[in-house]
Structure 1
Amino acid sequence: MSEQHKPVIGISIGDMNGIGPEVILKAVGGNRLNRICTPVIYGSGKIINRYRQMLELKDWQFFTIQKIDQINHKQVNVINCMNDQNLELQPGKVTPEAGKLAFESLKRAVADLKAGKLDALVTAPINKHNIQSDEFKFPGHTEYLASEFEVEDVLMFMVSDTLKIGVATGHVPIEQVKQKINKELIIKKIEQIHTSLKRDFGVQRPRIAVLGLNPHAGENGLLGNEEKEIIQPALTELKKKGTLVFGPFPADGFFGTAAWKQYNAVLAMYHDQGLMPFKMLAFENGVNFTAALPKVRTSPDHGTAYDIAGKNEADESSMIHAIYTAVDVAKNRAELSELEANSLKKKNIVLKEASMED
C-alpha cells in the first residue's frame, strides 16, 4: 500500500497518569503499525518521551509536529496539544493537569477528524471527573462525540472478532433504565446495529439477538411486562421489514449456554447487562466502537487503571485491536462509498442514454 493511501489514525492520549500512554506506546512502538496506517498521537512530546524512557523503548523514535499537515507517513507522529512546561507526570495520580491534557488532545483530534484530515480516531481512557470543564460536561467520550458531530443518538457498540454487543441505554443510572426503554428506542438501536454490521463490518445478512430487561425475560409478565409490551412489539415490527432479529432472551441463559455464538450481534438493555459478559468473553481483544457517527471512532474496552500506571504492567492488546478495528472500518466505509458512487454513476449514464434515445 502506498504511503498516501494508508489511513491516518488519530490517537488521543487520554489521562496521562493512567495506562493510556503506556498502551499507546506499546501498540505503536517500533513503528509496528506503520505498514497499515499512519498513527498520529495527540498529546505531549514530553509525556510520550517520559513513557518511552520508562518502558525502555530507547531505540524507538517518534516525529513531533505542531499540526496534522506536517505528518511523516513513515513514522509515528506526536502533536503537542499543550505547553509541555505545565505538565508534570504523576502515574497513578488524579490531577487537574492530566484532565486538561486529556481534553485538549481530544478536542484537537476531533477537530482534525471533522475536517477530514484523519480517517479514524482512537481514544485512550480518560478520567470522567478531572476532564470535566465548561467545555466538557459529558459522561464520557461517546456523548461528547455525539454532541460535536451533532448526532442526536449514537450507539455504544462493543466489538471483537467473535462477539458484538450494543446497549440500548449507555451511561445511565440503573433506576432510569426502565424509564428510557420504549419501542422507538429499541427499533432505533437495532437499526443502528443492523446498519453498522453491514456498512462497517461487511455482514450481508445480519442476525441480531435482543435481551430482555427483566430476569427470565419477564417470565411471561410475572417478573415484568416490558418484554411483552415494549420489546416484543418492536421486534415484530422489524421482522415485518425483513430484519433478522430474535428474542427477547433471558440474559443469563443466553450467555450461559453460549447461544450468542449463533448471532452476529446482541442488543442489551443497559450498560452492565452488555458490558459484563463482553469483558468476560472478549476483554483482551475487545473494542469500544461508536456506531452511527459520520466518522470512525474506537477505544480500548478498559479504563485508566491507575493502580498499574507507570509500572510497565499494562496489556496493550485492546489498544492494538482498537487501532486495527479503526483501520478496517475506515477501509470498509471507503470501499462502500466508492461502490455506491460507481453505482450512481452507472445509473446516471443509463438514464442519460435512455433520455437520448427518447
Structure 2
Amino acid sequence: MISNHRIIITPGEPAGIGPDIIIKLAQKKWPVELVVCASPKLLYDRAYQLRLPINLYFYDPNNINKNRQSSSLAIIPIKLSNPVIPGKLSKDNSKYVIKTLIKSCYECIEGRFQAIVTGPVNKYIINDAGISFTGHTELFARLTFTEKVVMMLVNEKLRVALVTTHVPLKSVPDFITKNNLYKIINILHQELKKKFSINNPAIYICGLNPHAGDKGYIGKEEIEIIIPVINELRKKGLKLIGPLPADTIFQENFLKKADVILAMYHDQGLPVLKFSGFNKSVNVTLGLPFIRTSVDHGTALEIASKGTANPESLFMAVNLAINMIEKTNE
C-alpha cells in the first residue's frame, strides 16, 4: 500500500550510472510514490541499453498514484541540452543537471515532496561548464536560505558527520571556529532527535590535530575552540564526548556507545566509514527544511549502461528517506 508521501529523485550526471540505478529502482515496489526529475528520453534510452522495462507517467501534483505498476515511475520532465553518450561527459549537459536539482529543491520547498534523493554528479564537469558548484549540500543550503547545514554519512555500522565539507585541507582550520562548531553540534543534536528518534544522542567529537592536540603541543584548536564549545553545550544537557584523537575514536569500545562521530574535516571521517561499507552508505544533509539523502558513490562513467552498476546505495537512500519521513511525522 502506497502512503500519502512522495519522494523526488534526481539521477545526477546523465552519462554516468545515475540513470542505470534509477531504472533498477523502478523494478521494485515502494511504499511511497517516487517521482524522478529527469529527461524521459534519457531514461527510456538507458532502459533499452540495460534491457529492462520502464514505464514513465507524468507526475500529477493533485493525485498520488497508489496503484503503481512494477517498472513504472512518475516523472517531471527536464530536457537535455545534448544527446547523451554513456561514459562520455558533456559540459553542455551540466545545465541540465543543475536544472534537475533546482526544480527538485523548489518542489520540496513548496511542500509537494517530503524528501529528495540525489544521484551522483560530476563536480569537475559542472565547474568546467562555468557553473560554480561545490556539492549538493551547499547548493540546497543556498537555495533554501539555510545558514548552516551538516553533512552526515550513515551505514549499518556507524554515522559520521562533518564540521567542514568540500574545502581545501589548508583552509580547514579557518572554519573551526566557536560559532561554527556551536551551530553544527546543535543542528546535529536536534536533527538526530527529530529525524532519527534518538532522545539524547551521544555525539563523539574528533580533535582537529594529531592526538587531539596533545594538550596544546601539536596545535591549540582543541584547547582554545573545541573544548570550550563542548563544555558550554554540556551545560545545556547535550551528551558530548571528546575531543578524542581521530586515530582512536573509531575503535569498537567508542563506536558501540556513540550515536554519531563528528569529524572536523572530510577525509578525517569518511575514509573510515566508506571502508566499513562502501556502496552501502547514505549521505544525509541535516538542517534543511526538508529531508535529503543521497548515494555514497560517484558517477562510475566506465560502467554506465553496462548493466553492472550496483543500486544498493540508492535503495538504502530511499529507504532511509522513508524512515526519516516516518520519524518526523511521529
Report what 2:250 is aligned to: 255
Report what 1:351 is aligned to: none
Deviation per CA, 1:208-239: give whole Å up to 9, x if none.
Answer: 10001011111121211111111111111111
Indicate conservation of the 8 Å contact 1:14/1:20, yes or no: yes
Indicate conservation of the 8 Å contact 2:246/2:268, yes or no: yes
CA distance in 1, matches of 2:82, 2:322: 31
Aligned AA for 2:77?
A: N
Aligned AA for 1:64?
A: Y
Indicate conservation of the 8 Å contact 2:206/2:261, yes or no: yes
Provide closer, same or farther for how the CA distance between residues 284 and 329 of structure 1 changes in structure 2, counting only shifts above 3 A.
same
TM-score of the superposed pair, with normalisation by structure 1:
0.86
Provide closer, same or farther for how the CA distance between residues 67 and 131 of structure 1 changes in structure 2, counting only shifts above 3 A.
farther
Aligned AA for 1:219?
A: D
Indicate conservation of the 8 Å contact 2:92/2:129, yes or no: no
Aligned AA for 1:330?
A: I
Indicate conservation of the 8 Å contact 2:216/2:223, yes or no: yes
Alignment of 1:30-69 (within 5 A): 32-34=28-30, 36-58=31-53, 61-65=54-58, 68-69=61-62
Note if 1:278 corresponds to 2:278.
no
Shift of 1:142: 0.8
Report what 2:76 is aligned to: 79
Report what 1:181 is aligned to: 176
Q: Which structure 1 residue ranges, 5 or more long, are not aligned?
A: 336-358
Deviation per CA, 1:300-354: give whole Å up to 9, x if none.
Answer: 111112122222221111100100111111222122xxxxxxxxxxxxxxxxxxx
Aligned AA for 1:247?
A: G
Aligned AA for 2:89?
A: V
Q: Pick from 220, 234, 239: which aligns with 2:234?
A: 239
Report what 2:317 is aligned to: 322
Alignment of 1:18-29 (within 5 A): 18-29=16-27
Report what 1:346 is aligned to: none
Shift of 1:160: 2.4
CA distance in 1, matches of 2:302, 2:247: 31
Per the alignment, in what secondary structure is the counterpart of residue 249 of structure 2?
A: helix
Aligned AA for 1:142?
A: T
Q: Pick from 156, 160, 163: which aligns with 2:155?
A: 160
Per the alignment, in what secondary structure is the counterpart of residue 233 of structure 1?
A: helix
Per the alignment, in what secondary structure is the counterpart of residue 200 of structure 2?
A: coil
Question: Cα RMSD (Å) of the superposition?
Answer: 2.0
Indicate conservation of the 8 Å contact 1:67/1:79, yes or no: no
Report what 1:339 is aligned to: none
CA distance in 2, matches of 1:65, 1:151: 31
Shift of 1:134: 9.7
Aligned AA for 2:65?
A: N
Which segment is superposed worse, 211-220 or 130-139? Answer: 130-139
Q: Pick from 93, 97, 102: which aligns with 1:107?
A: 102
Per the alignment, in what secondary structure is the counterpart of residue 145 of structure 1?
A: helix
Indicate conservation of the 8 Å contact 1:68/1:79, yes or no: no
Q: In proportion to residue count, which structure has more helix?
A: 1
Report what 2:219 is aligned to: 224
Shift of 1:257: 4.9
Deviation per CA, 1:144-166: give whole Å up to 9, x if none.
Answer: 10011110111111122431111
Indicate conservation of the 8 Å contact 2:154/2:282, yes or no: yes
Per the alignment, in what secondary structure is the counterpart of residue 126 of structure 2?
A: coil
Indicate conservation of the 8 Å contact 1:45/1:64, yes or no: no
Per the alignment, in what secondary structure is the counterpart of residue 152 of structure 1?
A: coil
Which segment is superposed worse, 184-193 or 63-72? Answer: 63-72
CA distance in 2, matches of 1:100, 1:69: 29
Q: Once the two structures are aligned, what percentage of the paired residues are identical?
A: 36
Provide closer, same or farther for how the CA distance between residues 17 and 332 of structure 1 changes in structure 2, counting only shifts above 3 A.
same
Larger radius of gyration: 1
Deviation per CA, 1:99-151: give whole Å up to 9, x if none.
Answer: 22211221221121111111110011111133349995331111110011110
Note if 1:169 corresponds to 2:164.
yes
Q: Which structure 2 residue ranges, 5 or more long, are not aligned?
A: none
CA distance in 1, matches of 2:129, 2:304: 28
Report what 1:354 is aligned to: none
Which segment is superposed worse, 92-101 or 118-127? Answer: 92-101
> What is the aligned residue count?
326
Q: Pick from 7, 10, 18: which aligns with 2:8?
A: 10
